[in-house]
């Protein structure tokens, strides 16, 4: 893999560490898009790349296939998402064992959303892990995995209050989690207040901001309403009137995300996780604006075979 080069006078690139999230393909076209995205973003030398896992193991095979290919054909460090939705402990443990045998040493351990979809009431499997804290404990009992978990600057929509929500994060940490990635947010003051709450609760693992580039404002706003994330009025104004203008929308989205990250860097944040939606062009532009530099050329990685 080519070595990442930073931009000249800007200190931002040198101050940042990035990671990227991808989702496994469900079709040939989606597979091509996934690997084009990986090839485009890999030269930024991310700390790791994560691959999502569908509810109830619905994408187990594609997730595992993607992880294997990342391990075999790139120098990237993959992390596999794992949830406990609609699965017994034995079933989840079997998946963890299968991923271990494939070479996975890092999990993003999540309870997961209800199989009925985001916003629906969650019901634990009667013989399963009831939450992410129990899942973390189960994974650590099997092997000394590196474990990343989720965090919620505006609290999880099912938590009655912040105290309950942060207590759950503490349980995850006590059971072995060493990093948390936040749900996406657009108000950096909200993130900063959350980190202060977390630190006061005695939680000192990195709380990595999850950055969501706004590919489609209407879709992001709808998803945010389901998962308890707020959309500031200023953000809606930025995208107003661009519903049928994807090129301008992308320019605005890149500027919005870059501004958010720049402000967080000024507040002392160094690590960032990008939800790529398997669309590299916008994320690449954002990283470039932030001072990260891929090698000259198209930023692809020659070690990845064509999909």
Residues with a catalytic annotation lie at 21
- Phi-psi sector, 7: left (phi>0), alpha (psi -120 to 50), beta: beta
Furthest-apart CA atoms within the chain: distance in Å:
57
Residue 287: CB partners within 8 Å, gap ≥ 6?
18, 41, 44, 274, 294
Question: Residue 98 in contact with residue 65, Cβ under 8 Å?
Answer: no
CB under 8 Å, gap of 24 or more: what pairs does 7-14 form? Answer: 7/291, 7/292, 7/293, 10/291, 11/291, 12/262, 12/265, 12/290, 12/291, 13/290, 13/291, 13/292, 13/293, 14/291
DSSP letters spanning 217-280: HHHHHHHHHHHT----HHHHHHHTT-TT-HHHHHHHHHHHHHHHHHHHHHTT--EEEEE-TT-H
């Amino acid at each position: 893999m080519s070595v990442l080069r930073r931009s000249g006078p800007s200190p931002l690139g040198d101050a940042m560490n990035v990671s990227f999230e991808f989702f496994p393909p469900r079709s040939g076209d989606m597979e091509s898009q996934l690997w084009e995205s990986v090839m485009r973003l890999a030269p930024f030398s991310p700390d790791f790349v994560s691959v999502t896992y569908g509810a109830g193991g619905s994408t187990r095979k594609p997730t595992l296939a993607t992880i294997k290919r990342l391990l075999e054909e790139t120098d990237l460090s993959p992390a596999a998402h794992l949830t406990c939705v609609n699965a017994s402990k034995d079933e989840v443990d079997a998946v963890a064992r299968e991923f271990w045998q494939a070479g996975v040493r890092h999990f993003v351990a999540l309870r997961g959303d209800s199989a009925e979809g985001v916003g629906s009431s969650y019901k634990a499997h009667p013989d399963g892990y009831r939450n992410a804290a129990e899942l973390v404990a189960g994974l650590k009992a099997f092997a000394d995995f590196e474990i990343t978990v989720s965090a919620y600057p505006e609290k999880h929509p099912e938590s009655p209050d912040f105290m309950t929500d942060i207590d759950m994060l503490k349980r995850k940490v006590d059971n072995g989690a060493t990093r948390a990635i936040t749900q996406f947010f657009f108000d950096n003051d909200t993130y900063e207040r959350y980190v202060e709450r977390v630190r006061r609760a005695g939680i000192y693992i990195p709380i990595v901001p999850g950055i969501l580039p706004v590919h489609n404002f209407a879709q992001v706003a709808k998803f945010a309403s389901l998962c308890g994330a707020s959309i500031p009025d200023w953000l809606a104004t930025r995208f107003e009137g661009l519903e049928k203008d994807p090129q301008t929308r992308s320019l605005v989205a890149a500027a919005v995300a870059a501004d958010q990250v720049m402000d967080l860097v000024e507040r002392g944040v160094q690590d960032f996780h990008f939800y790529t939606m398997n669309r590299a062009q916008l994320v690449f532009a954002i990283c470039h604006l932030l001072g990260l530099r891929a090698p000259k050329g198209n930023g692809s990685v020659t070690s990845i075979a064509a999909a």
